Amino acid sequence: MAQVTFTTHGERMQSFKLLSGHAIPAVGLGTWKSTSPQAQHPVYSAIVEAGYRHVDTAAEYGVQEEVGLAINRAVHAGVDRKSLFVTSKLWCADLSPERVRPALEKSLRELHLDYLDLYLIHWPFHLKEGASKPPKQGDVMEFNMEGVWREMEKLVKDNLVRDIGVCNFTLKKLSKLLGLAQIMPSVCQMEMHPGWRNDKMLEACKKNGIHVTAYSPLGSQDHGRDLIHDPIVEKAARKLNKSPGQVLVRWAIQRGTSTIPKSTHLDRIKENIRVFEWEIPEEDFQALCRVPDQKRVLDGENLFVNETDGPYKSVADVWDHED
């Protein structure tokens, strides 16, 4: 259920309540590939000038130092740390029980924070340190889900993270996790946009009270899907007098997910969060829910598939043959 809250700048912003009782702001700033030539990382302006209160990052993105400095500058400029929601992620090379806490501590140091609001398992695959892309034989190792989750739970108990969750899970993996969790995953972060709705996972999460954050809401970058110029998105944008980016962000929120569009341009950063004072009418919302050619952008092939030596010999293997 969405709750209406206000930023310190007086902007009306929704958030969603998590199983833990904490709130996650509906729109956050993504930071994958967000190295910026600007002296000040865009995260600073996003917080101070645009009113973002939710920042999504990860050890693997290699930007935690810059992001942490920007967050700290924003706090020094008067933004209450407690009003911010900072997410980071445990990378695949650290997906063994003994590496969970040191990895979190490294992220905290890089971010100059003493706790995270949310810590996520980035992908449910254990990679050898320095694994090749695509992986060589032996690069993909067994993932001890129970051992890793117990360590994630200890981080909550020790107040180092407020919530824990997962990314890139399948129904099969979620069901296994729910069978062993003592602290439930609060959030499941998945690729979701009109070109890849992933209704099955959304429904399974809703059924279990797990909040979903939609990543790559604009269709991602570089070799992603160009949803900004999709005719159905453009038509809705023209009708509403909004930008295609705003329509895509709003669509995610209207599905009940929070979302984390990435941009390093302040005009787009500001545009992407101006989505709370209007709605997509039902007819257009449904048209966006019928965009054809459903396909993942991030299928994990380059990270986890080794066609000859496995253990994941195809993209279908990565996603437990559920797509």
267 burial level (CB within 10 Å; 0-12, 13-18, 19+): exposed
Identity of the residue, 87 or 246, whose beta carbon is nearer to ligand 1BO in the bound complex:
87
Catalytic pick among 61, 119, 215, 312: 61
Identity of the residue, 51 or 135, whose beta carbon is nearer to ligand 1BO in the bound complex:
135
Segments in 16-59 forming alpha helices (H):
42-48
d(CA 116, CA 186): 14
Stretch that binds ligand NDP, among 97-105, 132-140, 267-275, 284-292 (CB under 6 A): 267-275
Binds 170: which of ligand 1BO, ligand NDP, none (CB < 5-8 Å by kind): none
Q: By CB under 6 A, tell whether 268 contacts ligand NDP.
A: yes
Binding ligand 1BO (rule: CB under 6 A), the pick from 60, 234, 301, 323 is 60
**DSSP code of residue 216:** S
Half-sphere exposure of 102 (CA within 13 A, CB side): 7
Q: Is the dihedral of CA 143, 262, 54, 32 positive or negative?
A: positive
Question: For residues 160-199, which are near ligand NDP according to CB under 6 A?
Answer: 167-168, 189
Identity of the residue, 233 or 282, whose beta carbon is nearer to ligand NDP in the bound complex:
233
Q: Is 112 annotated as a binding residue?
A: no
Neighbours of 102 (CB within 10 A): 10
Binding letters toward ligand NDP, positions 111-140, x by CB under 6 A:
-----------x------------------
- DSSP, collapsed to helix, strand or coil, labels residue 258 as strand
d(CA 97, CA 307): 28
By DSSP bridging, strand 140-141 and strand 126-127 are: antiparallel
Helical pair 97-111 and 64-76, crossing angle rounded to 10 deg:
50
Q: Does 61 qualify as catalytic in the annotation?
A: yes
Identity of the residue, 79 or 188, whose beta carbon is nearer to ligand NDP in the bound complex:
188
Question: For residues 30-59, which are near ligand 1BO according to CB under 6 A?
Answer: 32, 58
d(CA 58, CA 11): 27
Binds 262: which of ligand NDP, ligand 1BO, none (CB < 5-8 Å by kind): ligand NDP
Identity of the residue, 60 or 234, whose beta carbon is nearer to ligand 1BO in the bound complex:
60
d(CA 87, CA 82): 13
118, 165 contact by CB (below 8 A):
yes
d(CA 50, CA 283): 30
d(CA 302, CA 320): 17
Binding letters toward ligand NDP, positions 26-55, x by CB under 6 A:
----xxx-----------------------
Question: For residues 201-220, which are near ligand NDP according to CB under 6 A?
Answer: 215-220
Question: For residues 246-265, which are near ligand NDP according to CB under 6 A?
Answer: 260-265
The CB-of-163 to ligand 1BO minimum distance in angstroms stands at 18
Nearest Cα to Cα of residue 41 among 17, 72, 87: 72
Which amino acid belongs to residue 158?
Answer: D
Q: By CB under 6 A, tell whether 169 contacts ligand 1BO.
A: no
Binds 306: which of ligand 1BO, ligand NDP, none (CB < 5-8 Å by kind): none
- DSSP, collapsed to helix, strand or coil, labels residue 3 as strand
Judged by the rule CB under 6 A, the positions of this chain that interact with ligand NDP are 30-32, 56, 122, 167-168, 189, 215-221, 228, 243, 245, 260-265, 268, 271-272, 298
Judged by the rule CB under 6 A, the positions of this chain that interact with ligand 1BO are 32, 58, 60
Residues tagged in the binding site annotation for substrate? 122
Positions marked catalytic = 61
